[in-house]
Each structure stands twice: as C-alpha cells, then as structure tokens.
C-alpha cells in the first residue's frame, strides 16, 4: 500500500501544504509527486496550489514519450514519479545552482 510510503513524508513539508495536497489530489502517486516536489523546490503554499490547479502532475505524465513501449504496465507510474524527482529544472521559477535556491516568477 502506498500509504506506507507516504507516511514518512508527513514531516517533510508543512501541514497546511499536506491539507492542500490531500484535498485536491485523489491518487496516491499524485500526492507523492506533489509532496516530494514541494520539498525539493521549496514551493510556497500559493505556488503549490497553482501547480496542483494547473495540473503539473498530469502535464509531466503527458510529456513522457517512450514509456508505453519500454516499461511494464505496473511499473510506469512509480518510475515516472521517481524520474520527476530527479529532474533539475524547476516547473516554476528560476533555479540558481550557485545559491541552491528557487526564485519564483511573479
């Protein structure tokens, strides 16, 4: 069950962000995606809301090209989420590698 995987992530971001994710995302993999991306990029609450409402998870899934041909069916979603977390390009803002911060685009 994915809840066992999500449980250790509870302390990684604020409770208000968890409430947003839990109320707006119905799929456990989608929830994991937003929790980990929020932690990785330091998204503020408003940025997280924008990402969820603009369907960043779905857009990322649709951006994939050859997963249908190359991966077993039950491994696709898990691998896609793990790949997303390794991406160094932030979905919103400019990432300064020298300072290791995300500068939001306003």
Name the one residue in this structure whose structure tokens are 């408003």.
Answer: 46
pLDDT given for residue 11 in this prediction: 81
Contacts 24+ apart (CB under 8 A), 79-85: 81/29, 81/32, 81/33, 81/36, 84/33, 84/37, 84/60, 85/33, 85/36, 85/37, 85/40
Q: What's the number of domains the chain is made of? A: 1
Give this prediction's pTM: 0.57
pLDDT per residue over 29-67, tens digit each? 899 899 989 999 999 999 999 999 999 999 888 776 565
Task: For residues 13 and 35, give the distance between their C-alpha atoms in angstroms, rounded to a whole number.
Answer: 7
Give the structural domain span for 94: 3-103
Residues 81, 60: Cα–Cα separation, whole Å = 9
pLDDT at residue 22, as a whole number: 92
């Amino acid at each position: 069950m994915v809840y066992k995987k999500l449980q250790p992530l509870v302390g990684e971001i604020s409770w208000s962000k968890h409430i947003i994710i839990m109320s707006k995302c119905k799929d456990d993999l989608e929830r994991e995606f937003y929790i980990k991306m929020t932690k990785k990029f330091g998204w503020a609450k408003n940025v997280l809301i924008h990402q969820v409402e603009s369907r960043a998870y779905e857009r990322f899934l649709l951006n994939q090209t050859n997963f249908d041909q190359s991966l077993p069916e039950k491994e696709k979603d898990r691998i896609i989420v793990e790949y997303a977390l390794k991406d160094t390009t932030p979905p919103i803002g400019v990432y300064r590698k020298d300072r290791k911060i995300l500068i939001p685009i306003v």
